[in-house]
Structure 1
């Protein structure tokens, strides 16, 4: 039986759109996939010329580039370079839209695509606020369309492996969680109008980096077999304001899953995170440490408790586990496969990345921004427009 082929329209032509589109062009067999495949039907940009430049760069792949398979097999031969996003939304050859625009444009682009009858995969953060997200979900539900936030790590090999570790119960009940994603972005050397520094573009560490410690908290705590709390509380938060532009230089927030444990999450644009243990889950019988970077982790370690807290029934020996992304894939291909399967099967949302979990994380961010003192407090969404 021939694989189901999903025809994509790409919105924007920046770095993240390049990574995603390259992964669409990698041979699915490289990641042991045979039931779905992908085609790039159209690319939308501010002009036909810039869309064509994007396509031409993809076509210039070297033989050892993973996406050269798609180029050599004609997957870009009929790709349309379009000078407006609306042309992509209304193209009859496009099934699904990938939204890779700046944060402040996610809602309006996703909404326009849904209203045009297209399925949508939207980059994180899904929206600027919960009201925007609720509107998108309402439209998707009413029009029977698929909608999902880009949280690609949920579909990586390591995520499934860790799920098995937690299900096996060898670590016991969680006791506390630490999750961090931080970069030393040399902020004072950056253009204040750039994406990370500009509040009007949704800049700062929380919206750009925050989805990653949040996703690990969701995977390791919210989805833990012992968790019964489906509405964890944000206990407190702190944001350090970067005075030059008014975005958050760093953010810290504490969550509680009642009856399970608490988690401390952080983001920072002035310091790199730990190479080993950027994500840590401490449990009653052993500790789990996930390697940096948390947005593309491939290895984790399991450690016994210190000698002074020895547990004869717990983990007795440290172990290291490696679950790499398939060669030639950057890592976004797994998520694209999930989208294709959901659309093929007539599903509106993914069981591994459901709307309720996106709404939960979005709600945390809303409260953190309200309680902070950054210029993002003054940023208004485009819901209802």
Structure 2
């Protein structure tokens, strides 16, 4: 089979953009892919020199790294450095834009890319608020362009195995759900301008970390065969304010799927997450427990209920499904984007606009119900 090649323009040269670009440079066959390949056609940064440094870094990968394959096999051939983002959007050699900027810039960057006629993969959270997201969706529809939130966890091998377990029906009806993403950032030792502390960059735990407990809420509860509520609502919230800059130190929100169950979600910058249980779905016949970290989980367990309350599940079963060796884990979503665009799709069935809207709506409720510096801020929809 002839591989179809998707040509990427990379916006931003920070950490997540680096890892994504590295994965574009990994041999697709390492993850069993034979129909897709990727090329990096352009990189945009604050200066041409900065963009060129980013490209040079990708070209000089150590032989021990999976992404060293790309420089030898044409992934970076002809890659153009640009000293601004607009030139990447306008580059005729670019098919799709990857956006890895801070959350407050996602709407502006994605809108400009769509207006230039480019498909878009945008890092999470998709936008700052729901109004921004709705404008992007309307624009993608009007221009017949692909648009997707980059929730990489959904495309990992483990996510597929979780779906199979739920579809089997062995766990029974969900009764309760909990998930969190917590890290001890030691914030007092970080400068106030740091992206996790700066309100102007969407700082705090909610927008940066909240997508991860949310992805497990969507995979384990919302997509569960027992669920019929397509619009689950936040029914309770709480945010702890980090006083030095006014962002949220942690956020908690309770979501209800009517007729099914409730889910408690947590993001926290003050405490490490629990190693053995970053997400737990408790069901009528047994429980499904996902190990930390929520963004790149490699192991989950199906476990019996406590002896006093037995269910049909009588023994523990462990599933271990790491991402393919040499891949950071972002390659899977890039492959999905390539297949969708090749098929002429503007929306991905595994990461729908509807589900992005649900999660974005949760964040809006939590943020507007709290007392952080982001509470009254509005996005740039219509601008």
TM-score for both structures, normalised by structure 1? 0.99
Distance (Å, rounded) in 1 between the aligned partners of 2:241 and 2:302: 36
Matched with 1:326 is 324
Local SS of the residue matching 1:367 = helix
Distance (Å, rounded) in 1 between the aligned partners of 2:46 and 2:348: 31
Matched with 2:166 is 166
Q: Work out whether residues 195 and 203 of structure 1, in 8 Å CA contact, stay in contact via their aligned partners in 2.
A: yes
Distance (Å, rounded) in 2 between the aligned partners of 1:259 and 1:147: 32
Distance (Å, rounded) in 2 between the aligned partners of 1:257 and 1:332: 30
Q: Work out whether residues 368 and 376 of structure 2, in 8 Å CA contact, stay in contact via their aligned partners in 1.
A: no
Per the TM alignment, residue 72 of structure 1 is displaced from its structure 2 partner at its CA by: 1.4
Per the TM alignment, residue 319 of structure 1 is displaced from its structure 2 partner at its CA by: 1.7
Distance (Å, rounded) in 1 between the aligned partners of 2:268 and 2:221: 22
2:101 paired with 1:107: no
Matched with 1:25 is 25
Per the TM alignment, residue 78 of structure 1 is displaced from its structure 2 partner at its CA by: 1.0
Number of corresponding residues: 383
Distance (Å, rounded) in 2 between the aligned partners of 1:223 and 1:271: 29
Local SS of the residue matching 1:348 = coil
Per the TM alignment, residue 77 of structure 1 is displaced from its structure 2 partner at its CA by: 2.5
Q: Is the deviation greater in 67-76 or in 179-188?
A: 67-76
Matched with 1:284 is 284
Local SS of the residue matching 1:276 = coil
Distance (Å, rounded) in 1 between the aligned partners of 2:130 and 2:283: 32
Matched with 1:225 is 225
TM-score for both structures, normalised by structure 2? 0.99
Per the TM alignment, residue 320 of structure 1 is displaced from its structure 2 partner at its CA by: 1.2
Distance (Å, rounded) in 2 between the aligned partners of 1:38 and 1:58: 14
Distance (Å, rounded) in 1 between the aligned partners of 2:49 and 2:38: 24
Local SS of the residue matching 2:224 = coil
Per the TM alignment, residue 74 of structure 1 is displaced from its structure 2 partner at its CA by: 2.5
Matches within 5 A, 1:1-385: 1-311=1-311, 314-385=312-383
Local SS of the residue matching 2:325 = coil
Distance (Å, rounded) in 1 between the aligned partners of 2:310 and 2:137: 48
Per the TM alignment, residue 363 of structure 1 is displaced from its structure 2 partner at its CA by: 0.6
Distance (Å, rounded) in 1 between the aligned partners of 2:73 and 2:5: 14
Q: Which runs of 5+ in 2 are unaligned?
A: none
Distance (Å, rounded) in 2 between the aligned partners of 1:255 and 1:102: 26
Local SS of the residue matching 1:117 = coil
Distance (Å, rounded) in 2 between the aligned partners of 1:231 and 1:77: 46
Distance (Å, rounded) in 2 between the aligned partners of 1:132 and 1:233: 20
Deviant stretches of 4+, over 6 Å: none
Q: Work out whether residues 237 and 254 of structure 1, in 8 Å CA contact, stay in contact via their aligned partners in 2.
A: yes
Per the TM alignment, residue 382 of structure 1 is displaced from its structure 2 partner at its CA by: 1.0
Distance (Å, rounded) in 1 between the aligned partners of 2:376 and 2:172: 44
Distance (Å, rounded) in 1 between the aligned partners of 2:290 and 2:274: 10
Distance (Å, rounded) in 2 between the aligned partners of 1:361 and 1:83: 34
Q: Work out whether residues 252 and 266 of structure 2, in 8 Å CA contact, stay in contact via their aligned partners in 1.
A: yes
Local SS of the residue matching 2:230 = coil
Local SS of the residue matching 1:301 = strand
Distance (Å, rounded) in 2 between the aligned partners of 1:367 and 1:288: 28
- Superposed CA RMSD in Å reads 0.7
Distance (Å, rounded) in 1 between the aligned partners of 2:309 and 2:102: 48
Per the TM alignment, residue 378 of structure 1 is displaced from its structure 2 partner at its CA by: 3.0
Distance (Å, rounded) in 1 between the aligned partners of 2:360 and 2:351: 13
Per the TM alignment, residue 75 of structure 1 is displaced from its structure 2 partner at its CA by: 1.6
Distance (Å, rounded) in 1 between the aligned partners of 2:102 and 2:168: 40
Q: Work out whether residues 130 and 357 of structure 2, in 8 Å CA contact, stay in contact via their aligned partners in 1.
A: yes
Local SS of the residue matching 1:196 = coil
Q: Work out whether residues 200 and 379 of structure 1, in 8 Å CA contact, stay in contact via their aligned partners in 2.
A: no
Q: Is the deviation greater in 36-45 or in 65-74?
A: 65-74
Q: Which runs of 5+ in 1 are unaligned?
A: none
Distance (Å, rounded) in 2 between the aligned partners of 1:310 and 1:261: 20
1:232-278 CA-to-partner distances (Å, cap 9, x unmatched) read 11110000000000000000000011111110000100001100111
Q: Work out whether residues 59 and 70 of structure 2, in 8 Å CA contact, stay in contact via their aligned partners in 1.
A: no
Local SS of the residue matching 1:2 = coil
Local SS of the residue matching 2:108 = helix
